[in-house]
Structure 1
Amino acid sequence: MSQRLKTLVVDDEPLARKGLSVRLEAFEELQLMPECPNSRTAVDVIVEEKPDLVFLDIQMPGLNGFEVLKAVKEQGGELPTVVFVTAYDEYAIKAFEVRALDYLLKPVDDDRLKECVERVIAENSSFDTEQHEKLVGLVAEVTGQNAEDLLKTLSEGGDIATNQYPDHIAIKDSGEITRVAIKDIKWIDAAGDYMCIHANDDTYILRRTMKELEKELSPQLFQRVHRSAIVNVNQVEKLCNQQNGEYHLQLKNGQQLKVSRSYKDKIKQLILGQ
């Protein structure tokens, strides 16, 4: 192999993450990247840094491993070669073997890890068409289910419902109807009896209630941060703790949104993977 494979380890458990990384250092064909401690960071790193190989934990706060890959696709990123890591030995073997996708069971066995890495290296970290289609198909089945439930359903050959949330939202204004892509919405705030939809660099006025609108937005992508505000979690840059004890979110475009105390813990878990 002429080039080492850029390799990323994603796991919210520090010991598991470090333990796997240390053992992967023994393979000179792999070039280890800084570890990812949560799912949100993983999405950004995969999209921006384009690793060749990712060891991806399935059960993580915020987004599970399947949803990490779905978010990568939604942001236009390329899917790398993926080795799923899971503790669900009852379901994982059948679920992944039927798709010819590689997996590791926790605690990871040294011999199994060696076999897995050698297989990836032998294939030169490249998908064949069939393998790629199987991974894309698996990601497409994700609907925000609990990881264990999803694996059980897959292993039993069950069907997973397709995404129940729309890709666009129709906004009527002055006799015109504008279709706004859901993924382009950065945040939403209430203005009296109206909703202000902030998408890309535009703001649209929607004559609906926050409660009605929230039902049409995937909770894996949008989170309520205040009684009058909803945010696209992919737009969040950081959660800030102010001196007065209040919290606010800073978005990638510099916009700041107040986080009410009742939503603070949920936001820390679901958005920041803490």
Structure 2
Amino acid sequence: MKAFIVEDEPIARERLKRLLKEIGGIDIIGEADSKEKALSEIKDKEIDVLFLDIKLPDGTGLEIAKEVIETMEEPPYIIFTTAYGEFALEAFKVNAIDYLLKPFTKEDVEKALSKIKSTKSKISNLAKIATITTGTDILIPVKHLSKVVLLKPDDIYYIKAELSETVIKTKDREYFSSRKLYEFEELLKNRGFFRVHRSYLVNLAKIKEMRSVEQSKFLITFQDISDTIKTSRDGAKHLREYLNI
């Protein structure tokens, strides 16, 4: 598991590094003592878990978490390490896996890491479970108000990543899920869905028209709904290659 540490106090940073080495199985691939340095280095690395202090000289760990979630296709799991308990609610709004109050112990860190392993295991088995329980088709559990609804992939127009959840758009309404966009991408990769933007996964069968716009992007319109989506430049490039157009 690859870890990155953001902590402005050298003593606290070294202590966390020592605990992770004692636990084992953790490759510390980077560290930063400020928001600016962290965001600069994180974007070029593949990280499994990001340890974030809350208060930094030039910002907060919460701001880093939001930036990471919004800009990275596969954001890392986030564990906050802080002396301030009052930010816990905000931390879990950005899908933090745990919130460790200083001085935390080796056992506290181990428990937080075990949550990541448990979550990864559930994700890796999710597609298999859906296929086995529904035969040749997949039914996707999503939330609508206080209910859980099972959607067929054919009913979905697009899926959008937001800060703490994903929005699943059908002809009639929007549903919500705690799954990440890359999880849906893996689940639906052989069912006509295509990643056109870091925040959008589109059902190609529901597209009405794709019009070229600025910077070689596409503006996508859909059958039966008025929503439009603008691809990223890379998304449009990959879509052209995929469709051979």
Query: Could you state the TM-score of these two structures normalised by the residue count of structure 1?
Result: 0.41
Higher normalized helix content (fraction of residues): 2
Query: Could you state the TM-score of these two structures normalised by the residue count of structure 2?
Result: 0.45
